[in-house]
Amino acid sequence: MRCLSTPGMVTCAAMKTVLAPVDLSSAAADVVSEAGALAGNVGAKVLLLHVVAPPAVINEYAAESERLAEEETLEAERSLERWRERLKGLGMEVEANVLHGPPVATILEEAARTNAKYIVMGSHGHGALYNLFVGGTAGGVIHRAPCPVVIVPGAKTAARVSPSNRKSA
């Protein structure tokens, strides 16, 4: 909670939240940086989030799937802690959570629970055909988010649309 003090009066308001769901790809660092910049501009805290998805199939490999999910959880906790410390070093208020569940639904639930002002997330830029058949986490969040969603393009997408690659008209 953020409180402002004036002579004879203290006014408190809930701090705004920028939710930053990240995967463990190389694009995650760009998402964290963008979320930090946006949070700084709007006076918000950053909530870093990693969602460990449940195994797609439960069968004789369930024990191995469970072990892999535990490894992913530990790796995510370490990564989120590094990013949290980096943003805290810049004077920001930062929280970090690792949750388990379906990624889109879990991100949307966390956005609602925290009353997120913005969601900042990455896009891998797979393309329309991939998204048509497989779908995408970013697309699922965009269509149902309770707040604005900022998409940080993946490296391939950013390279395609960078100003240095544009031809002058």
Q: Which string of DSSP letters, residue by residue, matches 75-88?
A: HHHHHHHHHHHHHH
Of 27 and 90, the structure prediction assigns the larger pLDDT to 90
Question: Residue 66: which pLDDT band, with cuts at 50, 70 and 90?
Answer: confident
Q: Give the integer Cα–Cα distance in Å for 143 and 141.
A: 6
Q: What is the pLDDT of residues 134-168, one digit of tens each?
A: 458 888 999 999 999 999 987 654 444 444 443 44
Question: Residue 63: which pLDDT band, with cuts at 50, 70 and 90?
Answer: confident
Q: Give the integer Cα–Cα distance in Å for 84 and 122.
A: 18
The answer to whether residues 119 and 111 touch, using CB atoms and an 8 Å cutoff, is yes
| Phi, psi (deg, nearest 5) at residue 38 | -65, -45
**pTM of the entire predicted model:** 0.79
Give the tokens for residue 34.
């963008």
Q: What is the pLDDT of residues 103-117, one digit of tens each?
A: 999 999 999 999 999
Of 69 and 132, the structure prediction assigns the larger pLDDT to 69
pLDDT at residue 123, rounded to an integer: 82
Q: Give the integer Cα–Cα distance in Å for 101 and 60.
A: 21
Mean pLDDT value of segment 5-18? 63
Q: Which residue(s) pair with 45 in the sheet? A: 17
Ramachandran region of residue 104, left (φ > 0), alpha (ψ -120 to 50) or beta? alpha
Mean pLDDT value of segment 72-83? 96
Mean pLDDT value of segment 86-99? 96
pLDDT at residue 88, rounded to an integer: 97
Residue positions counted in the chain: 169
The answer to whether residues 124 and 136 touch, using CB atoms and an 8 Å cutoff, is yes
Helices then strands, each counted (H, E), the chain: 6, 7
Sheet of 44-52, strand order: 94-100, 44-52, 16-21, 118-123, 149-153
Mean pLDDT value of segment 87-116? 96
What are the domain boundaries of the chain? 24-165
With respect to CATH, is domain 24-165 assigned 3.40.50.620?
Answer: yes
pLDDT at residue 17, rounded to an integer: 97
pLDDT at residue 117, rounded to an integer: 97
32, pLDDT greater than 70 = yes
Q: Is the dihedral of CA 24, 28, 32, 33 positive or negative?
A: positive
Mean pLDDT value of segment 26-39? 94
The three-class DSSP label of residue 5 is strand
